[in-house]
A and B are shown apart, each in its own frame.
Chain A
Amino acid sequence: MARRGYEDVAVAVPVTVPYVRYSTEGAHWFLGRALHALVEHSGIDKDAIDGLCLSSFSLAPDTAVGVTQHMGLSPRWLDHVPTGGASGVMCLRRAARAVQCGDAEVVACVAADTNHVDSFRQTLGAFSHFARDATYPYGSGGPNSIFAMITAHYMRTFGARREDFGRIAVAQRANALRNPNAMFKKPLTLDEYMAARPISEPLHLFDCVMPCAGAEAFLVMSRRRAQDLGLAHVLIRGTIERHNAFAEDPIMVRGGWRKDRDALYAQAGVQPQAIDFIQTYDDYPVIVMMHFEDLGFCEKGEGPAFVQANTLTHDGSFPNNTSGGQLSAGQAGAAGGFMGMTESIRQLTGQAGERSVPGAALGLVAGFGMVTYDRCLCTGAVILGKSE
């Protein structure tokens, strides 16, 4: 059976609750700010939000339903998608189907996490059963050590150099300098990138994200509703999702997008060349490179050459992570998985200010999340298009 499209669904009202390195507030505070902004920016009555889709790691002991009472919401459709870097794409897919099927009219998708001084360390040790049993007792480096080994293996296999990863990080910093919400405000040169202190070789400081607190959110509703409300919005052209792909690979060399990318482009009716910008999930630069390969912008192993041949800034030949991404804007927990979504809505609705991608009509947002043991399990992608 052919998958039904998403033509009648609109995605609107990108919200970012500014990031802070540490906060004494809880996740609920950031959720509250995000919901408040959704209501304020959309002009929709709070009670008209009849669907809620949440992503957070720091709600415990609450789950999504606790948030409804906390915020005085009474949705008739509720979902909790705590899949970190993949949660933006996954929330969107679920919300869009709920709207199409009439189970909800206006779905608020919200990702928020707080970051206390010691909370990151505590999250790492208790992130998953496998992390507790089989990775955290080994040096307690968190994902750094896993991705260091994935990076080292990729470098050895495909001849990538640190400079190639550096080009990704440096371009993202240039984008971040035009994003008022980005945590990093200083330019980054390739020399500074190369000279940074080692964290887990071959990863150095600027290969790693900075954990922080913050929130990202957007609304999903019917296209007609968005038009009636006069809301700037984007359309879903195609989308995919996959979990635990390529379990047979002894070490991660490819992401699950590789399995489903044909379905993605077929649903959107476009080829990769038509994409004007991409928002990758940049937990580490090697993963950005894998996005380029496995989403079909170049062949496997050509990532380094592709990065050398392109400029990755918002005004470059292949704009990537135009907000600065997590590497330069910060990683607010699960909100990191929403960042590409809010940024793409802004880019396609003329709200991206001085980091706008000139003439952008199609953007690809990729999701990548949940290192429970030795690799990331969730992948997803959505192609968003400008509304005519």
Chain B
Amino acid sequence: MTMPLMKPKRKNPVLRTQQMNLPPWARGRVALGITAAAAHGRFELQECQECSAVQYPPRSACWRCLSCKLRWREQSGEGELLSATTLHHSNDLFFRERLPWRLGLVKLDAGPTLMVHLHGEVGEAPQRVKVGARLDRAGQAVLIGFPNEGSAHMADDKMLREMTSDPKFRKVLVTDGKTPAGQAIVRALVKAGADIVWVGHAEPWKKLGGLEDISALPQVTLVPLDLTDGRAVSRVAGSIGGKVDIVINNAEVHRSFGIGNRRGTDVAKAEMDINYFGLLRLAQEFGPALKGRSADGATHATAWVNLLSIYALSNFPPHGTFSASKAAAYSLAQCLRAEMRPAGIRVINVFPGPIDDEWNQHMPPPKLTPESLASAIVKALRDGVEDVYPGDVAQEWLERWRDNPKVLERELAVNGG
């Protein structure tokens, strides 16, 4: 059984803030295949296309038949714990600060022996376990041995919390509370046990539905926040930046049409001003604050979530300028991820298909409900994944894009925009 995490006491401001030392980051290029799968929440190993051998650690050739035709295949992770140890000494600062630390050797039913971090609910060897891949604080994949049947509080395991960004007892900023999606995100965070949710709202004189319901929640505090106003972003960061553990940037401007159906650049500029420059302003102000607190106790700063769009992968001509702004934001988010990595702050990019909101009225179903989007975001935080494609449309686009981006581009151009 995992002891449920208790709400941490208020921090004594006189005590030192623990600084982040990342776990070992180096991996070879081949081994990054495991990271690429774990970033999407999957556990994949190399499988030989000629003899079907599953192998680990990742290699450049099949250990059994020497073929170089290797592909990454999802694994069930079923296996047997052969042996375990508890480390009381480590040569690495990250682990030294977190000892004792439990490790195991697991023989996968699929073949290879794996070294894994062990979940606290896994008992003594020998026993059945299930191996999964997670991203560690350095953003690299590690393998974890989970109990076959976990308890209700297994997410609170001390080791596992190092790999995830569970909102429980954390303080979150949601940048736009005026949209149905934003309100659903706030509700989902409160339900997930967030301690405080700061909810941004631009142009306070415009009264929109739902905001009052949200602000009635005891965890919620409204903050005026307009991402087009650099000084306003600065002000908010000055007042809450040192406390925020998770930033969820869901503010966006979404208009339809591409190039030919609208005159001038005003709408495209407005989209860019929030979707791209808004992220930039927010990241410049809140990024350093999050980085400074990334090892600060059990509820340290942990994650940054960007609401992007599946249109960021390939332009959807009927929403052409919006797609472009989201592609720009996606590119900037990759930069943000690289800059946050040394502090161990995870950047999670969410790529939904059309959300069931006012700017997708012409889009046919299936459309993503705000509630589904919100639960996908909370799940991503809990599972520690890096890229999320919620909903059927996003999943289909992703599959087509992975298969062949050029073919997808032609498919999307079919109606001339």
What is the interface of chain A, defined by CB distance below 8 A to chain B?
Answer: 120-121, 124-126, 129-130, 132-142, 144-146, 148-150, 152-153, 156, 197-203, 247, 250-251, 373-374
A167 to chain B, nearest CB (A): 22
CB of B140 within 8 A of chain A? yes
- Asked whether A153 and B28 contact (CB < 8 A) given A140-B90, A141-B87, A251-B113, the answer is no
CB-CB under 8 A from A152, the residues of chain B are 83-85, 125
Can you sample 23 A-B contacts with CB below 8 Å?
A121-B91, A125-B24, A125-B26, A129-B31, A132-B26, A133-B58, A137-B27, A138-B115, A139-B92, A140-B92, A141-B89, A145-B115, A148-B87, A149-B84, A149-B104, A150-B83, A152-B125, A156-B83, A156-B126, A199-B88, A200-B86, A200-B89, A201-B86
Distance between Cα atoms of A120 and B90 in the complex (Å): 12
CB-CB under 8 A from A121, the residues of chain B are 91-92
CB-CB under 8 A from B140, the residues of chain A are 137
- Asked whether A145 and B85 contact (CB < 8 A) given A133-B58, A153-B125, the answer is yes
Contact of B28 among A133, A149, A197, A374 (CB under 8 A): A133
Task: Give the size range of B's interface with the partner.
Answer: 35 or more
What is the interface of chain B, defined by CB distance below 8 A to chain A?
Answer: 23-24, 26-28, 30-31, 56-58, 63, 82-92, 94-95, 101, 103-105, 107, 113-117, 125-126, 136, 138, 140, 142
* New A-B contacts (6) at CB < 8 Å, excluding given A138-B116, A139-B92, A156-B125: A124-B91, A132-B27, A134-B115, A152-B83, A153-B83, A200-B85
A145 to chain B, nearest CB (A): 5
Distance between Cα atoms of A42 and B335 in the complex (Å): 63
A137 to B, closest residue via Cβ: B24
Contact of B85 among A120, A124, A201, A247 (CB under 8 A): A201
Distance between Cα atoms of A276 and B402 in the complex (Å): 66
**Chain B CB within 10 A, most for which of A129, A139, A373:** A139
A148 to B, closest residue via Cβ: B85
Contact of B101 among A133, A134, A139, A199 (CB under 8 A): A139
CB-CB under 8 A from B23, the residues of chain A are 137, 140
Contact of A149 among B27, B57, B82, B101 (CB under 8 A): B82
A198 to B, closest residue via Cβ: B88
CB-CB under 8 A from A374, the residues of chain B are 105, 113, 115
- Asked whether A133 and B89 contact (CB < 8 A) given A152-B83, A153-B82, A251-B83, the answer is no
Contact B57–A130 (Cβ < 8 Å): yes
Contact of A373 among B57, B86, B95 (CB under 8 A): B57
- Asked whether A139 and B82 contact (CB < 8 A) given A133-B28, A200-B89, A251-B113, the answer is no
**Chain A CB within 10 A, most for which of B85, B101, B117, B136:** B85
Distance between Cα atoms of A138 and B102 in the complex (Å): 9
CB-CB under 8 A from B126, the residues of chain A are 156
Distance between Cα atoms of A140 and B26 in the complex (Å): 12
CB-CB under 8 A from B107, the residues of chain A are 250-251
CB-CB under 8 A from A145, the residues of chain B are 85, 87, 103, 115
B89 to A, closest residue via Cβ: A199
CB-CB under 8 A from A129, the residues of chain B are 28, 31, 57
